[in-house]
Chain A
Amino acid sequence: MAVCIAVIAKENYPLYIRSVPTQNELKFHYTVHTSLDVVEEKISAVGKSLGDQRELYLGLLYPTEDYKVYGYVTNSKVKFVIVVDSSNTSLRDNEIRSMFRKLHNTFTDVMCNPFHNPGDTIQSKAFDGIVSGMMVQSG
């Protein structure tokens, strides 16, 4: 499963970022931040070709030696980034897609909360729980 899951606002500041193991948090922050380059590249590339029927899943943003970074962008330009350990080869593209879909649904729930102020960082426990479920369970 994922080692890092991030939700990034339209303005590119992090709304939510969580990673395991925690001691490597900083590295993931850098990784996710850098991946925004590719996300933006892909969004602009998609925007040019297809109009309305946009695929939200951006696919593999870029691989590194240790991790694979996948991207997803909602229609409101909120980005989801999932980082997967490269050694975890059992994950298929479809599984990644379904993870993103699940994340998107949970995110929508958070946004539907009338007490949530859009643009604030996500504090929802339910969201946290879903994300935890998608993360690598490590001791």
Chain B
Amino acid sequence: MESQEEKPIIYTMENKPIVTCAGDQGLFTSLYTSLAQQLPREPMEWRRTYGRAPKMIHLEANFVQFKEELLPKDGNKALLTFPFLHIYWTDCCDTEVYKGTIKEDMLRWQNSLRTHASADWVIIVVESNDTKKKNKTNILPRSSIVDKIRSDFCNKQNDRCVVLSDPLKDSSRSQESWNSLLLKLRTLLLMSFTKNLGRFEDDMRTLREKRTQPGWSFCEYFMVQEELAFVFEMLQQFEDALVQYDELDALFTQYVLNFGAGDTANWLGSFCAPVRSWSGLLLRRPIDMEKRDGIQRGEASLLDLRSYLFSRQCTLLIFLQRPWEVTQRALELLHNCVQELRLLEVSVLEGALDCWVFLSCLEVLHRIEGCCDQAQLAANCSHTVGLWAYATDKLKSLGELCGLVSEKGPMSEDLNRTVDLLAGLGDERPETASSLQSPYKKLKEALSSVEAFERHYLELSHAAMEMYRAIGRLRSARLVGKSLAEFYMRKGDPERAETFLQEALKSYVSEGWNLPVTHTRKQIAECQKLLGRTEDYLQTSALLAGDVNLTTEERKHFCQEILTFAAKSGDQAHKVTLSMGVFAQLTRLQFHPATASVHSGAVLQVELTLRCLMPVSVHIQQVAASIHFDVDHGGTRGRSKAAQRQTIPGTVEFNQVNSSAGPPSSSGAGPPLELDEIHDRSPTDNSLSSTGVVCKNIHLLMRRHDNKSPPDTPNCVSPPAVAMKEGAQMLKVQEVTLEPGNNSIMFTAPSGQPGTYTLRQLCATVGQVQFVLPHIYPSVQYEVYSQEPQLTVEPRSEPLLAGLPQMVKFTLLTGHYAVKKGDALQLSNTDTMPILPSTGCSARITNPAAELVGESVLSIQSSEKVTSISLPATPPYHTLEFHLEVLCIIPSGNDRPPNERLTNGEVRHRPRSYSHPDTPMTAIDQRMSIDCPWSIYSTLLALTFYIPFKTKHSLLSAGNRKYIQVCVQNVSDVNFTLAEVKLTEKQHAALELQSLNAKEQQLLCSKHSVFCLWEVRWKEDLPSCLQCVFSANFSLLNQDVSSCKPFHYQFQLERVTTLYSVRADILPPAGEQHCRSGLLCGLEVCITRLTEPAEGETAEESKTDTDGLKTTKLMYEVADSSSNWAVCGKSSGMVSMPVTPDATHKVQIEVMPLFAGHLPFPKIKVLKYLPHTAAVAIQPDPDSCVENDSLSLLDKALDDQADTASIRSRGSVHSVGSGDQQQKGVAMPRLEPFSLGQVFNHSHARQVLVLPSTDDHIMEVNAT
């Protein structure tokens, strides 16, 4: 800048509009300082043409001495050198002097101005009081000079002559005159600008419109418009100046584009010349005169033009304080230039453009750094980072071009190329020669040696990466990192490369960009191979082999890499373990049988469906699945437990977590909920105490998601530590060939021990390589249970009838026990239920699927105590069935002696009969004790039989004659034939029982009864107690007589003998022949003792009288339940009967018939009266006792068959039951009825004719 200041025309920012000064130079010099100072002090409004907004500008001027040469010649359009205003200075106050010299001078000045058509002039007349005073006498008034000048020169423009008064004095008058002068100058200057610029712009436009004419030159036009820009710049109107350049830029761009479209302008030819210099942008000078000259001469290349244009724009933008726009425009420019050169098909030395771009980037960055502080730079990384990255990129390609990246270093060819490239840079510019870090030096150094290149390249790369990181453009940073990795790979430093690649890969994987993933993985594979990281390499290879984005050849190559390694015979102990997911995917698992629950030892097959991702079929030595075994403590309980766990599915479909395709799964919803019901049961009684829902995979769902890497993606950074857990049980299959796609592999699962087996891991072994699936998820389980042998007996048909041979079914579930040949069931024989021997009894053996496996004849051997059933050999978990015929013997009597019932505990197997609520039949539980070969304990089984009959007996009397009736009721649903009905007495042989039954055989239909009757005949004495056995043969109706089974009914009759006979007579009233209703008549009751006292009635019933005779107290009672009779007076009384035969007692009772007709006799009851025994210590109140007695007596009288409950409710301790002797100790007199047959009533059911009463005016009619 310094050097150029001497020149009259200067292209610097010091440019000011030129104002020429003519006339008195000395005067001007004396005023120059204050003029130059004061002119820009006040802004002036500049009104613009073409509707442009007015602007306030501060005017400055460069005052130069007027010279003829300064005036622009015709055609010279230069604006910068254009004198906008011409001033003529004079302080002449003397008319003579004026006329003599000044006027002439002025005329000359005016003429020269006029010849150049310059109308922008002003004459300044300076006057001072001193001169005035000095020439006061002979001098014309001052106005005359001014007037003269005005009349001479400014014929119509009076304002072209200005008076400045006393300029060097500090007075208000002087100030005023200064102000008006300045105002005038400014106005005139602006007028000149408007006029001259307007004319210039018009010319310029005209020129531009001619651009389609042949011979039009862009360079010429460029110079013209730039002139305008210069002026604006000079006027500090940078915005306007920038607009000029932008217009030029756009115009040029358009031409290039038009060229591309086939519209070629001639002048563009010079820009299509081959590029010879690529020295980059130069932004340190405001104006690059060198390039400008080139443009002016029409010799500039495209790069020169662009460089120059950009340098100007950059300068203006920096004046406008918009440095970030510079960077943005720079990037656009660089991209654009590359494109334009391509478009114009300009031949460029390979790499030359890279040099140019590289230098330019750095130059722009330097320029920006030069005008911003560090903090500003850091805050605006986003604007500069693009340039950094671009420079990095270009340096890298330069390095590659010049052989600086290869491991071996540059070849001679590369060196030649380097020399050529450096030649195009030319010499370093003087501006940067002193700078150590100039782009020129950097590039030259970088291309000079491998080391220097590496240093510079790394520096740039890291700078770019860090900036990207700082502004959060991580993907961009990784891309730079990737490019850096490629560099390291070329340099043979895979270790460093891998770090960057892995980082990039992680990002691609996490965002699911497949192609970049594949590409980066391929690079990683190369790294890992170079690094000798076998395991990682194989893992990556496996991933790539299964990558559908690669070609089949590539996939095969990577697959072969694995197989080659696998085939190597190496250290057997060290196998390379890889993740299964890269090799094959487990898609489905199926159990056969589908219940996934088998008994121990059974065959359970597991079918795995593996989708092999390899491109070729792979032979696998072994596929193994490790199993976790849980001992199931409840497993021995058999199927019931297994049935509870119905949740085990037979087929498990695995989620298709496709690691290489599609969106990353983890970013989505995550794993689905796995819910399960839980029941908390009480350990004691298995009752439900609580229930709920539990989430089984909560650990997966609740996992923090802040780490972005998806868990299921194998090998994103390093292979997961997969280890096959040894020692566990395994499912194994040897020698499998996996074809690409789905493969089915069958395993036979171990099912030895009962318990739960969980499939944990899957491992495929290919030689040295193991592919391990560390977790099979969702978890897959199967169950093995064990079952104890079970023997059950059930009737073949319900109900089982006692007394008839019945078929029962024996079912043996063998469970875990294998029945061997010779194993036998030992049935303890019981008397009550013998097992009937049968021939041709066969056993069926069925397998768990209920298919018949075998049938064989059973051999049954009976000995005295046991029946032994030899079983056929039966495999475990099979069912053995056979039928046996058993007979349950009907117990002969239901009136067992009481002592037997009391000691019943001893006789355990004694069948107990009871009435069943569901059926009228009496049930008998029969227990069987069976000794089984699999257990040391006997198995107890119960069968329930039903007695088809109900038997009742009764004793009938007629005076002394006795009859026994037996009633057999068929309560079953089947019909029987009853034959050989027989009644026998066991004790008394002399007794004869004469059957009064007519038929030999009788039909006994369902729900019907058969009555049988016998007369008892005796010779000497009738025993008071009879032990009778009723027996009959019965068979099912329509069955053979031979199949008749006996039926016995035992019973006992006591107090059979008739003790008393009661005879009653009704005597009509005296004088009447018949009884009449309403008249008292006599009832004569005669009680006669018939027999000797029996053994039974001794101490308690009789008592010895004072006269030695044995007497018995009897109580009689007359009761008429049907209200036919009214008993008058005593209805009951006590008689004392001597215990001798034929002792008779007569009682007279008055009764009155209430109705006429044949009335039945009133009932007469005779009861035993037992007085209280003296032996009892405590004597209760006798009166109350008697009262009680009579009460109960009356009750009984009224209610013949009083039930025991009503008696008990009265508080009485009496019991009608003959067997109960419990009231023995109760010291009260009591009544006891006689047993049936002990008292014979002769007058039972007798009737007497009762006539109506004589006075029959009262007629009572009873209609019912």
- Residues of A bordering B, CB below 8 Å: 9, 11-14, 25-26, 29-30, 33-34, 36-38, 40-41, 62-65, 86-87, 89, 119-121
A26 touches B343 (CB 8 A): no
- CA–CA, A86 and B1065, complex, Å: 149
- Which residues of chain A are within 8 angstroms of B515 by Cβ–Cβ distance? 25-26, 29
Chain B, residues 506-519, CB within 8 Å of chain A (1/0): the string is 00100111111001
Q: Which of A26, A37, A38, A63 contacts B335 (CB 8 A)?
A: A63
Do A12 and B343 form a contact, CB below 8 Å, given A30-B479, A30-B516, A64-B335? no
CB-based nearest B residue for A12: B511
Q: Which of A25, A29, A37, A63 contacts B476 (CB 8 A)?
A: A37
CB-based nearest A residue for B669: A119
**The 5 residue pairs across chains A and B that have the minimum distance between CB atoms:** A13-B512, A37-B473, A29-B515, A13-B663, A12-B511
- Which residues of chain B are within 8 angstroms of A64 by Cβ–Cβ distance? 335
- CA–CA, A38 and B662, complex, Å: 24
B342 touches A33 (CB 8 A): no
- Which residues of chain A are within 8 angstroms of B511 by Cβ–Cβ distance? 11-13, 33
B332 touches A38 (CB 8 A): no
Do A63 and B513 form a contact, CB below 8 Å, given A87-B339, A121-B662? no
Chain B, residues 463-506, CB within 8 Å of chain A (1/0): the string is 00000100111111001000000000000000000000000000
- Which residues of chain A are within 8 angstroms of B338 by Cβ–Cβ distance? 65
A37 touches B472 (CB 8 A): yes
Q: Which of B257, B472, B512, B516 contacts A26 (CB 8 A)?
A: B516
A41 touches B473 (CB 8 A): yes
- Which residues of chain A are within 8 angstroms of B581 by Cβ–Cβ distance? none
- Which residues of chain A are within 8 angstroms of B668 by Cβ–Cβ distance? 11, 119
Q: Which of A13, A37, A40, A63 contacts B667 (CB 8 A)?
A: A13
Does any Cβ of A come within 8 Å of B948's Cβ?
A: no
Does any Cβ of A come within 8 Å of B580's Cβ?
A: no
Chain B, residues 204-215, CB within 8 Å of chain A (1/0): the string is 000000000000
B335 touches A29 (CB 8 A): no
- Which residues of chain A are within 8 angstroms of B664 by Cβ–Cβ distance? 11, 13
CB-based nearest B residue for A9: B663
- Which residues of chain A are within 8 angstroms of B468 by Cβ–Cβ distance? 37
CB distance from B192 to the nearest CB of A (A): 42
A34 touches B479 (CB 8 A): yes
**Candidate in A26, A62, A89 with the most chain B CB atoms within 10 angstroms:** A89
- Which residues of chain B are within 8 angstroms of A120 by Cβ–Cβ distance? 662-663
- Residues of B bordering A, CB below 8 Å: 257, 260, 331-332, 334-335, 338-339, 342-343, 382, 386, 390, 468, 471-476, 479, 508, 511-516, 519, 662-664, 667-668
Q: Which of A12, A29, A62, A121 contacts B516 (CB 8 A)?
A: A29
Do A11 and B475 form a contact, CB below 8 Å, given A25-B515, A87-B342? no
- Which residues of chain A are within 8 angstroms of B475 by Cβ–Cβ distance? 33-34, 36-37
- CA–CA, A9 and B342, complex, Å: 36
- CA–CA, A62 and B511, complex, Å: 21
CB distance from B137 to the nearest CB of A (A): 82
Q: Which of B331, B332, B512 contacts A14 (CB 8 A)?
A: B512
B257 touches A63 (CB 8 A): no
A86 touches B473 (CB 8 A): no
- CA–CA, A89 and B519, complex, Å: 31
Q: Which of A29, A65, A86 contacts B513 (CB 8 A)?
A: A29
- CA–CA, A37 and B511, complex, Å: 13
B516 touches A33 (CB 8 A): yes
24 A-B Cβ contacts within 8 A?
Answer: A9-B663, A11-B511, A11-B512, A11-B663, A11-B667, A12-B511, A13-B513, A14-B513, A14-B514, A29-B515, A33-B475, A36-B475, A41-B472, A64-B335, A65-B335, A65-B338, A65-B390, A86-B335, A86-B339, A89-B257, A119-B663, A119-B668, A120-B663, A121-B663
**Candidate in A26, A62, A63 with the most chain B CB atoms within 10 angstroms:** A63
- Which residues of chain A are within 8 angstroms of B257 by Cβ–Cβ distance? 89
A63 touches B663 (CB 8 A): no
CB-based nearest B residue for A60: B332
Do A63 and B512 form a contact, CB below 8 Å, given A34-B475, A37-B473, A41-B473? no
Do A63 and B332 form a contact, CB below 8 Å, given A14-B513, A29-B516, A33-B516? yes
**Candidate in B334, B474, B511 with the most chain A CB atoms within 10 angstroms:** B511
- Which residues of chain B are within 8 angstroms of A12 by Cβ–Cβ distance? 511-512
- Which residues of chain B are within 8 angstroms of A30 by Cβ–Cβ distance? 479, 516
- CA–CA, A13 and B257, complex, Å: 37
- Which residues of chain B are within 8 angstroms of A41 by Cβ–Cβ distance? 382, 471-473
- CA–CA, A108 and B516, complex, Å: 28
CB-based nearest A residue for B473: A37
- Which residues of chain A are within 8 angstroms of B473 by Cβ–Cβ distance? 37-38, 41
- CA–CA, A22 and B479, complex, Å: 21
- Which residues of chain B are within 8 angstroms of A25 by Cβ–Cβ distance? 515
Do A62 and B386 form a contact, CB below 8 Å, given A34-B476, A119-B668? yes
CB-based nearest A residue for B386: A62
CB-based nearest A residue for B343: A87
- Which residues of chain A are within 8 angstroms of B476 by Cβ–Cβ distance? 34, 37
CB-based nearest A residue for B331: A63
**Candidate in A26, A34, A64 with the most chain B CB atoms within 10 angstroms:** A34
**Candidate in B331, B343, B513, B667 with the most chain A CB atoms within 10 angstroms:** B513
- Which residues of chain B are within 8 angstroms of A86 by Cβ–Cβ distance? 335, 339
CB distance from A57 to the nearest CB of B (A): 19
- CA–CA, A47 and B479, complex, Å: 27
**Candidate in A9, A33, A87 with the most chain B CB atoms within 10 angstroms:** A33
- CA–CA, A29 and B251, complex, Å: 35
A33 touches B508 (CB 8 A): yes
CB distance from B407 to the nearest CB of A (A): 25
- CA–CA, A29 and B668, complex, Å: 22
Other contacts beyond A12-B512, A30-B516, A41-B382: 11, CB < 8 A = A11-B667, A12-B511, A13-B667, A14-B512, A26-B516, A33-B479, A34-B475, A37-B475, A37-B476, A86-B335, A119-B663
CB-based nearest A residue for B390: A65
- Which residues of chain B are within 8 angstroms of A14 by Cβ–Cβ distance? 512-514
- Which residues of chain B are within 8 angstroms of A65 by Cβ–Cβ distance? 334-335, 338-339, 390
- Which residues of chain A are within 8 angstroms of B331 by Cβ–Cβ distance? 63
- CA–CA, A40 and B664, complex, Å: 20
A33 touches B335 (CB 8 A): no
- CA–CA, A40 and B475, complex, Å: 11
- Which residues of chain B are within 8 angstroms of A34 by Cβ–Cβ distance? 475-476, 479
- Which residues of chain A are within 8 angstroms of B260 by Cβ–Cβ distance? 87, 89
- Which residues of chain B are within 8 angstroms of A33 by Cβ–Cβ distance? 475, 479, 508, 511, 513, 516
- Which residues of chain B are within 8 angstroms of A37 by Cβ–Cβ distance? 468, 472-476
- CA–CA, A12 and B708, complex, Å: 13
CB distance from B333 to the nearest CB of A (A): 11
- CA–CA, A34 and B475, complex, Å: 5
CB-based nearest A residue for B382: A41
CB distance from B348 to the nearest CB of A (A): 14
CB-based nearest A residue for B661: A121
- CA–CA, A121 and B662, complex, Å: 7
- CA–CA, A121 and B513, complex, Å: 12
CB distance from A45 to the nearest CB of B (A): 10
CB distance from B251 to the nearest CB of A (A): 15
- Which residues of chain B are within 8 angstroms of A13 by Cβ–Cβ distance? 511-513, 663-664, 667
CB distance from A76 to the nearest CB of B (A): 15
CB distance from A67 to the nearest CB of B (A): 9
- Which residues of chain A are within 8 angstroms of B472 by Cβ–Cβ distance? 37, 40-41
- CA–CA, A119 and B668, complex, Å: 9
CB-based nearest B residue for A37: B473
- CA–CA, A41 and B383, complex, Å: 13
- CA–CA, A63 and B334, complex, Å: 11
CB distance from B384 to the nearest CB of A (A): 13
- CA–CA, A63 and B332, complex, Å: 7
- CA–CA, A36 and B512, complex, Å: 13
CB distance from B227 to the nearest CB of A (A): 29
- Which residues of chain B are within 8 angstroms of A89 by Cβ–Cβ distance? 257, 260
CB distance from A70 to the nearest CB of B (A): 15
